[in-house]
Amino acid sequence: MTHFLDLDTTPADDLRSIITQARAMKDARAGQPKGAPDAVQPLAGRMIALIFEKPSTRTRISFDVGARQMGGQTMVLSGKDMQLGHGESIADTARVLSRYCDLIMLRTFEEATLLEMAEHATVPVINGLTDASHPCQIMADIVTYEEHRGSVADRKFVWAGDGNNVCASWLHAAGQFGFDMTFTGPETLDPNPRAVAFARGKGRRVEITRDPLKAAAGADAIVTDTWVSMHDPESARERRHNQLRPYQVNEAMMAAGKPDALFMHCLPAHRNEEATTAVMDGPQSVIFDESENRLHAQKAILRYCLGV
Ligand code: CP
Ligand code: NVA
């Protein structure tokens, strides 16, 4: 059985095949209405469970639309409305869902919850974001970068701000797709050291600097994310804002990168906090392409997991 749990645990060749498939499927749909079925229907007869223990716009809708375009059926479920949110174990939930569904996509808090679901499910499980990582997002981001600028290999990606779950998946991707990363943010919000070690272990350069303009020098892309993630306590908001303000992606930071550097953000964004509106809506921004490519990347991930 083929789960899609993280970029560091999925073979690099498989990740590259998924990107190739995603781009081919996107090209094949060019000009079609969003609801039109794909010419091939690899998910015909398949039932997909999409479970959310946290809010979502892009992940929820892109998985739902993507599965339907491929002929599948979906159930979008809120964790709190299931017995899962009222004391039933993850293991038992996994066993029960596996009797009804062909695949489970889960957005949850603890990474351990996702891993327990995968351990006990007898159908593939996809990580739709945990406190620790967001692999589907970065697959879409690789598609996005490459359709604008060509191969990510040996490029310099700069992450500005909080070394969070999305940042960890970028570091995994650096190792698997072969690019370098510079992190710039406050020391207390440094990225997960295991993710840094993974990229370095694959021979990639990972730099950590407190100077945002120095970090941005020579960047092929500058990437950021919200200063307060869904798993962060509300009480930390003010402190985080004060710590992260110097790392806002603004026109000065973009000007320090290469002239053709892209600006990337997984969204949702808080405009004029982690990035200015001028940057988000500027000529270097590809943020809405990233959102669209969630659809195409995840369709390829669904096919990979189901072997269809
Ligand atoms: N980027 C992302 O995962 O967005 P949602 O939280 O809206 O799914
Ligand atoms: N880091 C953010 C990403 C949202 C898609 C969060 O976890 O809330």
What is the pLDDT averaged over residues 250-272?
98
Ligand 2 lined by 229 (C-beta under 6 Å): yes
Find the residues whose C-beta lies inside 6 A of ligand 1: 56-59, 129, 137, 266-268
More confident residue, 84 or 183: 183
CA-based nearest residue to 168, from 7, 3, 289? 7
| pLDDT of 124 | 98
What is the pLDDT averaged over residues 287-298?
98
Break the chain down into helix, strand, coil percent, rounded to 5: 45, 15, 35
CA-based nearest residue to 105, from 92, 116, 114? 114
Q: How far is CA 201 from CA 5, 51, 102, 133, 171, in A?
A: 20, 34, 35, 19, 11
| pLDDT of 305 | 98
| pLDDT of 105 | 98
What is the pLDDT averaged over residues 76-98?
94
More confident residue, 146 or 81: 146
Q: pLDDT tens, 155-172?
A: 999 999 999 999 999 999
Q: Is position 134 annotated as part of the catalytic site?
A: yes
DSSP 263: E
pLDDT band for position 33 (50/70/90)? Answer: very high
E-assigned strands of the chain? 47-52, 73-78, 103-107, 125-127, 156-160, 180-184, 206-209, 221-224, 262-265
Amino acid at the residue 115: L
What is the distance in A from the centroid of ligand 1 to the CA of 30? Answer: 24
Q: Is position 137 annotated as part of the catalytic site?
A: yes
Distance from C-alpha of 16 to C-alpha of 216, rounded to nearest angstrom: 27
Distance from C-alpha of 282 to C-alpha of 15, rounded to nearest angstrom: 30
- 181 dihedral zone (left: phi>0; alpha: psi -120 to 50; beta): beta
What is the pLDDT averaged over residues 9-26?
98
| pLDDT of 93 | 97
Question: Looking at the whole model, is its pTM more than 0.95?
Answer: yes
Q: One of 120, 172, 204, 294 is an active-site residue; which one?
A: 294
Instruction: Kindly state the tokens that stand for 188.
Output: 């207390």
Whole-number average pLDDT of the chain: 98
**Contact assessment for residue 146 and residue 167, using Cβ atoms and an 8 Å cutoff:** no
pLDDT band for position 250 (50/70/90)? Answer: very high
pLDDT band for position 85 (50/70/90)? Answer: confident
